[in-house]
Amino acid sequence: MTAPRGVGHLRGDQPFPVAAKAAVADAQLRRNLGNATATIRAKRAAVVGELPDWQQLRAAGAAIKDAVLANLDNYLIQLEERVTARGGTVHWARDANDANRIVTGLVRAAGATEVVKVKSMATQEIGLNEALADAGITAWETDLAELIVQLGHDQPSHILVPAIHRNRAEIREIFLREMGGVDPALTDNPAALAEAARTYLRRKFLTADVAVSGANFAVAETGTLAVVESEGNGRMCLTLPRTLITVMGIEKLVPTWRDLEVFLQLLPRSSTGERMNPYTSMWTGATEGQAFHLVLLDNGRTATLADPRGRDALRCIRCSACLNVCPVYERTGGHAYGSVYPGPIGAVLSPQLTGVADNASLPFASSLCGACLDACPVAIDIPSMLVHLRAQAVDSKRHRVPSPEQAAMAAAAWTMAEPARWTRALRAARLSKWIRRRRALPPPLSAWIRARDLPEPPPQTFRDWWTDGGGR
């Protein structure tokens, strides 16, 4: 069962090429993204390069995740048992609607009208903030970048750095406009901006009764959950409110405590380019004075698991290394992908969660350059998976009248399957008027000549040269 329509943020309003056209034309966005991704790429390369066993760590990370996915049912039940034994309550959410209903119900039961949130991709995926707002509950994002996105009435554009599309000057303007009571002398110095956010958020931490978090990892053998972050705001959320609700995708498991050793090396180096992240919070069940609820989210993950050629996408630990090295992401940013999961991993994950027909343009949003595979800390073969999903996207339309593309592909294959046909076709193409003219061409070649010349057709094909004696 795939993620339902009409809720959450896994589908865009426009196909990728249309959304990308606007993004590519945005000079400020291009500059912000170019600078930010280049900085993170360099940091990552430095800290990955200093580990002699990086390739072994990647292999271990992939193997652990594969073992989890192969036995996901057992590990999930084990996790539920451990969390329950330690005083937590586990809820199973089949999809976004289920999860939103469960969380809204829990917040209401706690008698709260406000919640603080630690950055969570899963709750962005299901559109929890909107669902809470519909129920009269206000959600405050406390991760600095998420706060910038929320105050800017915006959507995240990166998994790890949701406000990567904003620069300091833009952030200052958002704070001045939206926070209220900010000294107009606020500068765009990062420390000054962080201080403004700290002052603003402190009040929320001290008054909120309920916190909603995501989780980076859950350890099946102990029932322990882990959140990895940079600012410490997450830890405030996890510890101060009387009720903690964690929403987690079912693929976030690792079997044993020891497995964290691998991922706590892979994740910070791949994501922020740090040897270790500043804050790692772990908790097991409910702690004294706090109620704990764990919502396990499917929302298309079981459907993804069912495809042997696509399921490796569930290894993803949301580090964003593939976004930062992707030449397409670097030029379009995350919004063009229409899903909270942008970039290469988004292009393989979003279509699988929703069913490929609802995100049919995403598998094509890549030049298949392979940089994502090299950067991935759990060795997800994203290029091969994109090719597989492209075939699914094509097949999903095969029952209709053949599109011009399908007809062209079939004609090309027919011609090329037979050497004599191919030889004749090459000669004919060389002499044809529209190839020789090279100025006004029909689609799709019109897209080529908008910015690129076509080569001059040669006087003779290679095979004719060879038949003529091959230079002897």
- Token pair 């008054």 is at which residue? 207
Three-state DSSP string of 419-457: HHHHHHHHHHHHHCHHHHHCCCCCCCHHHHHCCCCCCCC
Minimum distance from residue 125 beta carbon to another protein (Å): 25
* Contact status, residue 13 vs residue 128, Cβ threshold 8 Å: no
Minimum distance from residue 67 beta carbon to another protein (Å): 24
The 3-state DSSP composition of the chain as helix, strand, coil percent (nearest 5) reads 55, 10, 35
Q: Which is nearer to another protein, 179 or 425 (CB)?
A: 425
Minimum distance from residue 2 beta carbon to another protein (Å): 19
Q: Which is nearer to another protein, 181 or 419 (CB)?
A: 419
Q: Which is nearer to another protein, 35 or 367 (CB)?
A: 367
Minimum distance from residue 325 beta carbon to another protein (Å): 9
Q: Which is nearer to another protein, 257 or 466 (CB)?
A: 466
Q: How far apart are CA 433 and CA 345, in angstroms?
A: 43
Bridge partners (DSSP) of residue 243 are: 210, 291
Minimum distance from residue 326 beta carbon to another protein (Å): 9
Query: Strands, DSSP E only, in 105-199?
Result: 114-117, 138-141
Strand bridging mode 138-141 / 114-117: parallel
Residue 66 CB partners (closer than 8 Å, separation 6+): 312, 315
Q: Which is nearer to another protein, 195 or 418 (CB)?
A: 418
Q: Which is nearer to another protein, 220 or 371 (CB)?
A: 371
Minimum distance from residue 93 beta carbon to another protein (Å): 33
Please report which residue ranges of 240-381 form alpha helices under DSSP H. Answer: 260-271, 301-305, 321-325, 327-332, 343-354, 371-375
CB atoms within 10 A of CB 277: 16
Q: Which is nearer to another protein, 194 or 306 (CB)?
A: 306
Residues that bind another protein (CB under 8 A): 16-17, 20-21, 24-25, 30, 327-328, 331-332, 363-371, 373-374, 387, 390-395, 405-406, 409-410, 412-413, 416-419, 422-423, 426, 429-430, 444-445, 447-448, 450-455, 457-458, 460-463, 465-467, 470-471
Minimum distance from residue 383 beta carbon to another protein (Å): 8
